[in-house]
Amino acid sequence: MAEHTPRSLIVTLYGAYGRTPGNAPLPVAELIRLLNAVGVDAPSVRSSVSRLKRRGLLVPARTAGGSAGYSLSSDARQLLDDGDRRIYAHPQPRLRDGWVLAVFSVPEAERHKRHLLRSRLTRLGFGTAAPGVWIAPAALYDETRHTLERLELAPYVDLFRGEHLGFAATRESVARWWDLDAMAGLHLEFLKQHEPVLRAWESRPGTPDPAAAYRDYLPALDSWRQLPYADPGLPEELLPKEWPGGRSAEVFGLLHARLRDAGAEFVRGVPDGLP
């Protein structure tokens, strides 16, 4: 599993606590405070914020008190809203729901967009059924459409819904379309890192301390939010026995239930920021 980067932690912070009804900006000083609590120094925060601004995910804005800050762009809010359905809901997939297919063709003169398409479909959790033919559970259709439209890649892609009719058994085909061993390894690494954290919290009586809850919750969320993209949610009957994905989802769900709101108290300790 990838290490926590300042840029990823900032996106995770905004995703967890930064989507207020009025899209209130978070002051730069408070971004630094909140990231420092999880081990990120001020220069790294400022550098990462600049990169996220260049990518169009953060926009500069003044807080109600006049401090310099950053709020989410409309594209970033859509990205995070789409992500919520994977990260928090994590519904049990059903084989009868079928698949979404992405078939693309990119002119040679624009081959850089071919690379971008492949990388984005991979990040969305698509497997490769054949050259230029990508497949994912049908539940990912809306998010796929939003992503391709946002990146102006939709003109190169046709999307289809369907079911697998053969000739190999679907279970065998899925093992070709996705690297299931690598996927399972990510779940096991998440459990190695965060299941002991859950056990430690379960042994503590009473209400969690806000600062401690925040310090444990934000890295857990940052680790977990990558997993539903690496693992797009394949039906249980298509997966190997003793698949670790269910347990990793359970561990994150319990950490979320115990720590998220307590961590919000630490975030709300800002003098001029999120309400």
pLDDT tens for residues 132-157? Answer: 899 999 988 988 998 889 888 888 89
pLDDT tens for residues 193-229? Answer: 999 999 999 998 888 999 999 999 999 999 999 898 8
Task: Return the pLDDT at 259.
Answer: 96
Percent residues over pLDDT 90 in the chain = 53
> 97: exposed, middle or buried (C-beta count within 10 Å: 0-12, 13-18, 19+)?
middle
Tokens linked to 15 = 């995703």
Are 255 and 198 a contacting pair, CB within 8 Å? yes
Are 118 and 168 a contacting pair, CB within 8 Å? no
Q: Averaging pLDDT over each range in 78-87, 105-114, 173-182, which range is the top one?
A: 173-182
Task: Return the pLDDT at 271.
Answer: 44
pTM greater than 0.75? yes
pLDDT tens for residues 78-90? Answer: 888 888 888 887 6
Distances (CA, A) of 181 to 26, 62, 176, 185, 252: 40, 47, 11, 6, 21
Among positive and negative, which fits the CA dihedral 209, 18, 45, 4?
Answer: positive
